[in-house]
Structure 1
């Protein structure tokens, strides 16, 4: 029988991604009781410091799975109703008819119809680049800007709706998850970060996963290089950044080992009940930030291919950093990957990302990592 974790082949596939243009990346793959960890490339382009598989990393939207788990735990306790209108709990944040029509479940699976607030942060607060109108200069100007989540929610709720509540395909929107964080605070009397830490992170036995307390990543980590679709050349380091612009929708720091541990615990029923887990795996159609239609559940989405096993997990992106974690439905095989380059694709005149060698190399690595 072929070794399910072929170290040489996995290392070679990871090296091909690095040679295609990613400064550094690292991963952990689990198959049953076997574990493979790999790291290639550099964490610092200036010093040549290498990446290591145990480095801390900003995991971006993988945070959404943690936030969802905390909300579902409250639903299990009866303090939150998944099909209760959000206006019942937060009428000051989602007033009027939309507050009566948008349910908690619609926030979790991105079918609320609420707009993404980030473009309006630019137009209202001049804080982040609007791809159609400006370059990346605002990244540098707002590295240390601290945003009020209520103001960000106001921007998203006040923007033109993507569509009516509950209609599919929905729109992947961070506005939904800032509202879920506010809901957790309303239901528990603590901050969302405290609730998630106590009830999800600690329950999963994670020792290297935490919310940031400032703009720095504590502990050994890589610099994070942002290309912004070729507008930043050479790529610039944004590892030091105030993540209040994302909050509990995308601001956790973790390791690839902790991510595999978390998703294994989640899919084995250790974090939420089997009924809640089944609800997480009921998908609907959502338009992603890459303008692709994807299947999305409650804080999880599947990786599916005809004739192949289904994996569940999430991907994430911050300025300069990307992460993916996927666990097979039976829990027997897992992948967690972190990389220190983002938005490497240039854009065509219509604004669509153009193919890049990194895309093919990553796809090949994922194929080998997931299916052997």
Structure 2
């Protein structure tokens, strides 16, 4: 009987991403009981230390699915109203008419109209203001900065709105998920990180998934190389970084195996109830941080392919690292990929990222991994 996983094709596709310019990457693909794991390239450019498929990795905004699921658990318990105004719970953080107009659902699916806080500096606390001008200096300035989430939220709320509450398309914003973390703390009496750890990570049996305690990644991991559109040349290692700048919006550390287990359980209705999962899979059009239109539910992104079914999951980036985890709706086919270089595309005169061989090589890997 032929295996549903073409291991030779997966090995070749992974290696081609490395040859296209990615220092190192690793992945796990599952099809039923069949499992393939692969790694190509180096975890450390200076020493040539190789990557391996069991390495821990900063998974960025994949964290949002965990946070959204935690909120849905509290909706199930009756402590949070999915369509209740956020001002009911956090009137000081989102005051007045906006607090009355923005619902919890709008925060989870990025239709709140609240701006991304990263480029703004509307208080004495400076986040990453020069990112608005595509300058990388702030990345070094804040490697060990411990940010206050209320200060970051204030930047996003004070910044000019990017749309009306509930308007379409929505605009992806980390401000939304920092507010959801504060909401979880308000209704559970513990931090969002502790709640998610106890009620999502531990219950799902994810041994290598955790929120960082400090700026370091515990256990075997890769360096993370940030190119910032060619402005950091050669790319610089940002694997040591205080992740309070994103908190429960994008700070989780995990492995490709843990991510596939998590999404498999989620889509099987074992993390939240089937009715809650159905709410998570109700999508709206939003614009991603890369400026691309995507279909987004409650902490879940949808990817459709005619004749091949729908996939659900999330992507994530941090300074130097990237992750994409997608699971088919029936839970049988799964993919999780981690890379250790970000923003490899140089910009043209108009500021638009230019094509790079890594783009096509990654797209091919995703196709082979998801569809065979």
TM-score (norm 2): 0.98
Which runs of 5 or more structure 1 residues have no equivalent in the other structure? none
Taking the aligned partners of 2:60 and 2:176, their CA distance within structure 1 comes to 15
Residue equivalent to 1:94:
94
CA contact (8 A) 1:122 1:129 kept: no
Taking the aligned partners of 2:260 and 2:146, their CA distance within structure 1 comes to 31
Worse-superposed segment, 301-310 or 340-349: 301-310
Residue equivalent to 1:141:
141
Residue equivalent to 1:344:
344
Taking the aligned partners of 1:129 and 1:322, their CA distance within structure 2 comes to 22
2:286 is paired with a residue of what secondary structure? strand
Residue equivalent to 1:25:
25
Deviation at 1:123, TM superposition (A): 8.8
1:42 is paired with a residue of what secondary structure? strand
CA contact (8 A) 2:119 2:132 kept: no
Q: How does 1:68-217 map to 2 (within 5 A)?
A: 68-121=68-121, 125-128=125-128, 130-133=130-133, 135-217=135-217
CA 1:22 to 1:129, structure 2 compared with 1: closer, same or farther past 3 Å?
farther
CA contact (8 A) 1:24 1:339 kept: yes
Residue equivalent to 1:12:
12
Residue equivalent to 1:37:
37
1:22 is paired with a residue of what secondary structure? coil
Taking the aligned partners of 2:366 and 2:122, their CA distance within structure 1 comes to 34
2:277 is paired with a residue of what secondary structure? helix
Taking the aligned partners of 2:364 and 2:54, their CA distance within structure 1 comes to 23
CA 1:168 to 1:92, structure 2 compared with 1: closer, same or farther past 3 Å?
same
Deviation at 1:121, TM superposition (A): 4.2
CA deviation profile, 1:28-77 (whole Å, cap 9, x unmatched): 00000010000010000011000010000000000000000000000000
Deviation at 1:134, TM superposition (A): 5.6
Taking the aligned partners of 2:295 and 2:81, their CA distance within structure 1 comes to 23
TM-score (norm 1): 0.98
CA contact (8 A) 2:122 2:155 kept: no
Residue equivalent to 1:322:
322
**RMSD, aligned CA:** 1.2
CA deviation profile, 1:150-200 (whole Å, cap 9, x unmatched): 000000001000011001001100000000000000000000000101111
CA deviation profile, 1:323-349 (whole Å, cap 9, x unmatched): 000000000000001010000011122
Deviation at 1:352, TM superposition (A): 1.5
What count of residue pairs does the alignment treat as equivalent? 372
Taking the aligned partners of 1:122 and 1:41, their CA distance within structure 2 comes to 42
